[in-house]
Amino acid sequence: MAADFEGRLQETGKRLYQLIEGESPTLFQKQYWTGKVLDWCMRDDAFRVQMFRFIDVFPYLTQLETITRHLQEYFGRPELKLPSALQWGIRVGSSTSFTAKMVAKSFADNISSMAGQFILGSTPQEALAPLERLRSLGMGFTADLLGEAVVSESEAEAYFQRYLELFGVLHDVQDRWPALGESPTELDWGHSPKINVSVKASGMYSQMRACAFDHTVAMAKERLRPLFRKAVETGAFVNLDMEHHGLKNLTLSLYRSLLEEAEFHDYPHTGIALQCYRRDSEADLNELLQWARDRKIRFTVRLVKGAYWDSELIWAQQSNWPIPVFAHKHETDANFEKLARIILQHHEITRLACASHNLRALATVIEAAKDLQIPSEQIEFQVLYGMGEPIRNALRKAGLPVRVYAPIGDMLPGMAYLVRRLLENTANESFLRQKFAQGVAVEALLRNPLDLLREQPPPSEAPGTTPESGAKSPFQNEPLWDWTLAEHRERFSQALGRVRKSLPRMVSAFIAGKAVQTDRKIYSVNPNAPDEVVGLVAAADKSHVEQAIQAASAAFPGWRETGYRDRAEFLFAAAERARKMRYDLAALQVFEVGKAWSEADADVCEAIDFLEYYGREMLRLGQPRRMGQVPGELSHLLYEPKGVCVVIAPWNFPLAISMGMTSAAIAAGNTVVYKPASQSPVIGSMIYDLFEEVRLPPGVLNFLPGSGSEIGDVLVSHPEVALIAFTGSRETGLHIIELAAKTSRYARGIKHVIAEMGGKNAIIVDADADLDEAVIHILQSAFGYQGQKCSACSRLIVLEDNYDRLIERLRSAAESIDLGPVEDPKNFMGAVIEPAARDKILSYIAIGKEEGTILVQRDDSPDTSVSRPSSLVPRPSFFVPLTIFTDIRPEHRLAREEIFGPVLAIMKVKDFEEALAVANGTQYALTGAIFSRSPENIARARREFRVGNLYINRGCTGALVHRHPFGGFKMSGVGSKAGGPDYLLQFMVPRNIAENTLRRGFAPSSE
Amino acid sequence: MAADFEGRLQETGKRLYQLIEGESPTLFQKQYWTGKVLDWCMRDDAFRVQMFRFIDVFPYLTQLETITRHLQEYFGRPELKLPSALQWGIRVGSSTSFTAKMVAKSFADNISSMAGQFILGSTPQEALAPLERLRSLGMGFTADLLGEAVVSESEAEAYFQRYLELFGVLHDVQDRWPALGESPTELDWGHSPKINVSVKASGMYSQMRACAFDHTVAMAKERLRPLFRKAVETGAFVNLDMEHHGLKNLTLSLYRSLLEEAEFHDYPHTGIALQCYRRDSEADLNELLQWARDRKIRFTVRLVKGAYWDSELIWAQQSNWPIPVFAHKHETDANFEKLARIILQHHEITRLACASHNLRALATVIEAAKDLQIPSEQIEFQVLYGMGEPIRNALRKAGLPVRVYAPIGDMLPGMAYLVRRLLENTANESFLRQKFAQGVAVEALLRNPLDLLREQPPPSEAPGTTPESGAKSPFQNEPLWDWTLAEHRERFSQALGRVRKSLPRMVSAFIAGKAVQTDRKIYSVNPNAPDEVVGLVAAADKSHVEQAIQAASAAFPGWRETGYRDRAEFLFAAAERARKMRYDLAALQVFEVGKAWSEADADVCEAIDFLEYYGREMLRLGQPRRMGQVPGELSHLLYEPKGVCVVIAPWNFPLAISMGMTSAAIAAGNTVVYKPASQSPVIGSMIYDLFEEVRLPPGVLNFLPGSGSEIGDVLVSHPEVALIAFTGSRETGLHIIELAAKTSRYARGIKHVIAEMGGKNAIIVDADADLDEAVIHILQSAFGYQGQKCSACSRLIVLEDNYDRLIERLRSAAESIDLGPVEDPKNFMGAVIEPAARDKILSYIAIGKEEGTILVQRDDSPDTSVSRPSSLVPRPSFFVPLTIFTDIRPEHRLAREEIFGPVLAIMKVKDFEEALAVANGTQYALTGAIFSRSPENIARARREFRVGNLYINRGCTGALVHRHPFGGFKMSGVGSKAGGPDYLLQFMVPRNIAENTLRRGFAPSSE
């Protein structure tokens, strides 16, 4: 870098600044409504939240009355300070009064006009005039079609068709546009097509799944290819936009893969965006450059800072993943300068489109280009439509090529786009805010971000990701695999191969630390390939039950005396062991219970979570609690184990739920007889293996696979058993509860039963629900793992105002998802667990046909062409069609009975009141969810939607240990929530020990 | 006060100081063992605790081996710093090695010699020589007989006889003693008998009960009268010593009552001690002076500071009573000066015996006497034998009358006395410690305590005794009545009269806020006078059950929606109401269930405690708990009521247990159908009344008296019932559990049962147990409320080394307590609840006679001569004899089955190991206690004595809310401890509500 570079940069920056001086973007002009609103947003964060949320929901409010109601709900809270300039009369009168309607009307108009500042028109036709106005001002454009999230292939297809139309409309008129710049060619500035279009990959394919990476790329190309082809035909420029972390690697691969195709290889007018706020953006850039150099490809990089900083941070923190973006704005600024320079240095293969409103960034690019003797017309400066007009004008005045990013679309996607732009403008770090709203001095605006970084170093990584020596770090959920990283996909794939080779597994029972063979065996098979035997597993009989309980009884005193810290350490060690085996533990689930990759991975993570959480819980609860503080007395409340615990586990979370119940019992000091489900005994044996590998003393955990009908009652009614932890069906649960309540005269105590049973869970979709989110979550909740979760959504309750919209989107989305053996990661849904389950589900589908109307039935026979080495006994397929019924009423069996399969019953209701009544109107109370943007309805659901786990604006499955203590009431269970702070208490008896420390009138003062 | 008084005082003080200079008490001489030990005690508080505790237990250690073991247990802890000068080899070798025995022997010798410094001899004969030595040095004495706590009338009688003997021995020799002082009479200093004896009231009567105040005074006089008579006969001085708070008013009354008797009225040689550390000592003094002036009585006041400061503080804090002593030593010092002056001012009726080692106090008295022109021979200066010899010598040198307080007694009481003296010497505020161990300058020693007080004002009263507005103060147990205060005795007595007049009470059922009459009635009678009908109470049938449950169901939604803070307020209001009615609520119990005054009072206090505690618990638990801290999500764990709760209550804690279960259910938001015990429905109706008076909404609490066999099963099996809270017998409890576990297909959920059932509780008496305490606590635990407590002690497990001593003391103590109708406060034990109970208990006594040997059977027919106005139906008496069996073995029915009456089974065991095995060897696990002074055995009991409530060195009944969360396991119950932090959780279902707050990539930062 030239020694005087910084000096020249400052000069250029100040020159640009002078060109800006006196101009102000309409956005910040306080005489207008938008300016007033933004001004108040910057002053009052609570108002900003409400305002942006209101804008977000606004397009769904199709009647003045609903606008008024929402205005009151969002802004009517007395604690909210409202700007006096915006006294829109929200707090007066009913939502149906004339005044209220007038207010609503004026509000709606204002928001529409606010949106009009950022969006050129709702269709390409409408946008033509503003686009031509831009060109007449000497500026190019890149047209972007706004759209809702694409949740189905029909939506992707429609979006694709809109793009084709856009090309057509622009192509029809481009000849009448003179080229920009001094060059005599038909290209703007001598090199750039007049038509320039930006596309998002997520709009081109609805079933993007990072774990099915290659499949996703291939499918997305199916629509991008014709689009690129159209660009070539029309001589247009096409840019692939960059979205959030989950799509970044997919988008890069997609772009490269397309350009590697012969028809595009030599086409110079394509580009891709790179986000400088990403920590890996430099590496990505270098890789792209290397690739382009190797392949002799020319391309453009639109260098941006990135528009999803807040959400990237939140998503990463929620996932407990490394944060992919820089913590500090200055780091991003510095990285922008660095990457811009790298791109300029590779001018021979790549062109820079500098997309920033930041004065210093612009000056840096201008001066760096000079350094490298790149003609200024060779670089584009891109600005967003409606933002920072003074900057684009200054750039124009400076004679530089300016391209305006020009969004086109209607209100629904428009509002989402608007919110993002408003957030950007009102963020503390926003250049536009600093310059135009706060009047920060030019010297400050031009300061070198590296200097600023030195002055305010970014905070170091959050502590506690690794346990410190001695004290345990706070609990953190085990992060799921980030499938966008090739390593995880490859290692999972290898694990599938490795595990398959190990099949069928021969599994013994284990009693008192010794393997026990049995005459009878359980055959465990792959539900997606029933002739593949996963395991040949010992089947215990009554005599084994007696042995196992005696072993647990014998081990109890020693285990009880083992310090609670030591007991917890066994859990932590088992967690560490499970972490090392994650791929294999998950792969085994794909084969034995038919879990898709992500579902299997989540189950293993949850098992690890239980170990880490209950271990820590025991550390917390093991410490005796001082009761009262009177002198002369030491009173402590403490907890001790109950005795022998029988764990009867289900197959649907074969590792996690088994591990939860077992590890809680063990941590608390009980000894365990663990009966895995007959459908998942091989995974069940992993529980035993994990604890054996960390040298849990013999007899503390006894592994007793067997048939429930053969050994269940014997286990439950045994007089030496102190407690039973059960998860499974309601019928079995109620039977266990009744049986355990008969206290034998030989019993050591009264048996305690912890029972987690079924659910008939509902999701309510309010009239104003965000359907982009709702559809995705409903599908995941209803059909994830084939609906075989007690938390699964089996009822969908939709308010009539949103009914048609939702039904159509849901139908097409449900028709778009891939079905088939889950070994193939592209398949969202595979076979159900066993023939009995299949038959029961099919019978409910038959009932549903009587009771309601089929909306979707995916009876396409799945692709079962997965190669299998073994083929023992041919069996019928365990697949059932994904089925959605409408016209279901609360009294229907489909609305009342648990199906435990991929069947969803939709019920239309007239209002929220009815929605709640229907939702609550079952014997179960496990999970539930609502999608709503009405503060009032959300508050009401919190109070009145009575389920164990209620979710707001997200699906009703996927509870995380600690964050979402899990469990229901009514017929859904008895006992406290798994993964919550009260759970371990159930495995223990409380004791109080009170010592009178006063002797001869004298008590130690310290006590 | 003369203007120059302070100046003269300082001069006199300094003169005395000069007379002291150069002398040092043997106690602080570090070349001796005692000096070394005291030196280390003052440096290291942990060592001081262990040393004084060891000294306390020492006399029980009759073998070198047990001494060694205790030495190792007390001093062998590695964290304890031991003075290098005292390397007694504790940490080496086994307790039976030769070295260990030598160490033990030397330690024993040292302790004996330490005791010899403070005690003149073990008998009067032995003490004669030291007494005469004192007289030969020109000092008088007052002889005090040390004794163990008097727990029986035979012990009181023996103690009394020892005093008679003391008078005899002294009388035989007094003639050979020349009188002290210059006076020519036979009296010392011209006015004082040579024989001077100090007596403690507590030694003269074993059944001192403050609530039976007059009875106690009368009974104590029965032995004090002959003693005073003996003094008159021998011309001796007799002084009544002052003990702790509980005896202060009794002692004062006793003294006055005696002196009002004609034979003592004119005898001038008696005195009483007053403790200046008591806040009420000035009032007591003035009252005494007024009394003496009115009655023309002359007497002496021994003015002391008080020797029980630590324990008075502890007892008061444990009782939540006002602290009777000054918080600050300077206050006591100032009060001493003030009271001394008052006494001197009344020289015509009272004489001052100034009992202080404090230089300034002495100087004050000397100078004040001069001011008042009282001849110095008229004032006595009393010092303790073995303490502060330089001071007594200085006083002698100054020509002042000195009397030495001279304890006589053997090792057992000697060690207790020794510990008190050592505590005094090593206390931070001790004058002796300051002067002789720390060498504080004379100016500091003589500073005016009023000045010191101004510089270091005493801390203000502990906050939180009254609830602040808004936030609730921390929970505090409701203080029991202090029966030493006449107000409480009188008001209780009045309440008994008032309540009796109101009998029989006519009580309805209450359903949905309305009184409901029934055809059938329950007759509730006074167990101590079965022809007295306490109530005529509605008896509900099945139709009432249905109505009550429907009422509770109907009230549930509204009550659930009532904010938890508001619900808690109903409890606080009911507590306030109960507090206002305390006397009547307790008096009713005396009549309906036969509770003695204190037991009835305790039950009412516990009921108030439950209200205050569960109210606060709901405030704690009502606040939703944030789960996880990830951005973009608001997850809360919260608790909601279960529904209709059936409360089935016992009669033995008729208000407290009913209130506990009911108020917990109500606080948690459930609605209640409350069935009181058929034996205590009138008290049960008070629960309803209290809540009705605070306007609990109708239907939230429904009062349904009735027969368990008639309506119990209907209540339990009703499908609308969500939970059952039961306290009662094991049989009923198990039946309820079994019945509730049958889930009806119409049920709203699975019923939850909280059941507190029986116990077969044991107290273990270790070989080294302090029997002074053990005997009292055993009697209280076994026979308090006639043994009709689930927590009552029914097994006494005694180590053989302590067996004979304990059995003898326990036998005589059991024979000393008063039996009879508990309306009379002197009676410790009255009738059992009903004929069926009586018959069952009598049948167990018959069994006991087969299985074991009767140690005590109190078949003296009780005094039933209480006057009664009504006499409806004559009924047989419900009294059963207090019975204690020995020779019971673990397999006996008396050792296994709950009797629920005044029957105690004693089992002898050879060691602690066996004691624990026997204690744990029942099907119950409710309460238990051990008396031990072995740190090792205490630690072991904590681990291995497996009961719900274990008490160390105190009895096994009397659990307090919050301080002792109550409840057991095995066959003693299911559920979490009443009055503890987990109790309320059982009445609620947990819910988790997780809101995704991220919208359009934007989440409020505050969430």
pLDDT tens-digit map of A73-99: 998 887 787 776 565 556 555 667 777
The Cα of A335 is separated from the nearest Cα of chain B by a number of Å equal to: 23
- Per the CB < 8 Å rule, is B970 touching A630? no
Which contacts of A375-378 are long-range, i.e. CB under 8 A and separated by 24 or more positions? Answer: A376/A400, A376/A401, A377/A181, A377/A182, A377/A183, A377/A189, A377/A190, A377/A191, A377/A401, A378/A189, A378/A191, A378/A347, A378/A351
* Range A242-254 average pLDDT: 97
Does the pLDDT at position A869 exceed 50? no
User: Do B908 and B803 contact (CB within 8 A), yes or no?
Assistant: yes
Q: What is the pLDDT of residue A873?
A: 37
pLDDT tens-digit map of B958-979: 999 999 999 999 999 998 999 9
Structure tokens at A30: 């306080």
pLDDT tens-digit map of B803-843: 999 999 999 999 999 999 999 999 999 999 999 999 999 99
How many Cβ pairs closer than 8 A exist between chain A and B? 274
Reply yes or no on whether A756 is catalytic.
yes
Structure tokens at B538: 């509605």
- Segment holding B327, helix H or strand E: none
- Per the CB < 8 Å rule, is B995 touching A951? yes
Does the pLDDT at position B109 exceed 50? yes
User: Do B43 and B82 contact (CB within 8 A), yes or no?
Assistant: no
CA distance A506 to A516: 12
User: What number of other Cβ atoms are within 10 A of residue B31's Cβ?
Assistant: 6
Does the pLDDT at position B470 exceed 60? no
Structure tokens at B29: 């001489």
User: What number of other Cβ atoms are within 10 A of residue B327's Cβ?
Assistant: 17
Does the pLDDT at position B649 exceed 90? yes
Q: What is the pLDDT of residue B876?
A: 56
- Mutation pick from B750, B974, B1006 vs chain A, by most beta carbons of A within 10 Å, is B750
The Cα of B738 is separated from the nearest Cα of chain A by a number of Å equal to: 5
Mean of the per-residue pLDDT values of chain B: 93
Structure tokens at A271: 């580009």
Model confidence at B611, pLDDT cuts 50, 70, 90, reads: very high
User: Do A873 and A536 contact (CB within 8 A), yes or no?
Assistant: no
Question: What are the CA-CA distances from residue B150 to residues A196, A463, B463, B494 (Å)?
Answer: 106, 64, 38, 32
Tokens 């009585």 map to which residue?
A: B297
pLDDT tens-digit map of A371-396: 999 998 899 999 999 888 899 999 99
Question: What are the CA-CA distances from residue B459 to residues B279, B454, B594 (Å)?
Answer: 15, 12, 44
Q: CA nearest B562 in A: which residue?
A: A943
Does the pLDDT at position A870 exceed 50? no
Q: What is the pLDDT of residue B868?
A: 43
Does the pLDDT at position B863 exceed 70? no
Reply yes or no on whether B790 is catalytic.
yes
What secondary structure letter does DSSP report for B322? P
Q: What is the pLDDT of residue A735?
A: 97
Catalytic hit among B645, B790, B793, B956: B790
Q: What is the pLDDT of residue B584?
A: 98
Q: Which residues of B touch A985 (CB under 8 A)?
A: 976, 982, 985
Q: What is the pLDDT of residue A127?
A: 96
DSSP string, B336-389: HHHHHHHHHHTTTTEEEEEE---HHHHHHHHHHHHHTT--GGGSEEEEETTS-H
- Per the CB < 8 Å rule, is B992 touching A630? no
CA distance A183 to A175: 16
Structure tokens at B652: 């033995």
- Per the CB < 8 Å rule, is B314 touching A630? yes
pLDDT tens-digit map of B676-693: 999 999 999 999 999 999
Q: What is the pLDDT of residue A949?
A: 98
Phi first, then psi: give them for residue A592, nearest 5 degrees.
-80, -35
pLDDT tens-digit map of A545-574: 999 999 999 999 999 999 999 999 999 999
* Range B841-870 average pLDDT: 78
Q: CA nearest B631 in A: which residue?
A: A314
Mean of the per-residue pLDDT values of chain A: 93
Q: What is the pLDDT of residue B869?
A: 42
pLDDT tens-digit map of A939-979: 999 999 999 999 999 999 999 999 999 999 999 999 899 99
Q: What is the pLDDT of residue A863?
A: 47
What secondary structure letter does DSSP report for B767? T
- Choose from A738-747, B5-14, B249-258 the range with maximum mean pLDDT: B249-258
pLDDT tens-digit map of B685-735: 999 999 999 999 999 999 999 999 999 999 999 999 999 999 999 999 999
CA distance A454 to A328: 12
- Mutation pick from A743, A933, A1000 vs chain B, by most beta carbons of B within 10 Å, is A1000
CA distance A661 to A712: 17
User: Do B473 and B479 contact (CB within 8 A), yes or no?
Assistant: no
pLDDT tens-digit map of A196-213: 999 999 999 999 999 999
Catalytic hit among A790, A793, A851, A956: A790
User: Do B375 and B183 contact (CB within 8 A), yes or no?
Assistant: no
Does the pLDDT at position B873 exceed 50? no
Q: CA nearest A148 in B: which residue?
A: B1000
* Range B521-537 average pLDDT: 96
* Range B644-660 average pLDDT: 98
What secondary structure letter does DSSP report for B820? S
**Among B640, B971, B999, beta carbon nearest to A53:** B999
Closest Cα partner for A510 from A696, A716, A710?
Answer: A696
Model confidence at A836, pLDDT cuts 50, 70, 90, reads: very high
pLDDT tens-digit map of A779-792: 999 999 999 999 99
Q: What is the pLDDT of residue A457?
A: 79
- Per the CB < 8 Å rule, is A996 touching B56? no
Buried b (16+ CB within 10 A) or exposed e, B471-483: ebeebbbbebbbb
Model confidence at B89, pLDDT cuts 50, 70, 90, reads: low
Weakest-pLDDT range from A313-327, A875-889, B219-233: A875-889
Catalytic hit among A148, A243, A532, A756: A756
Percentage of the residues of chain A whose pLDDT score is greater than 90: 82
Structure tokens at A748: 């050591």
Does the pLDDT at position B872 exceed 70? no
CA distance B391 to B907: 53
- Per the CB < 8 Å rule, is A308 touching B947? no
pLDDT tens-digit map of B877-935: 799 999 999 999 999 999 999 999 999 999 999 999 999 999 999 999 999 999 999 99
Q: CA nearest A955 in B: which residue?
A: B996
**Among A737, A997, A1004, beta carbon nearest to B741:** A737
Angle between helices A64-75 and A98-116 (to 10 degrees): 90
Q: What is the pLDDT of residue A194?
A: 97
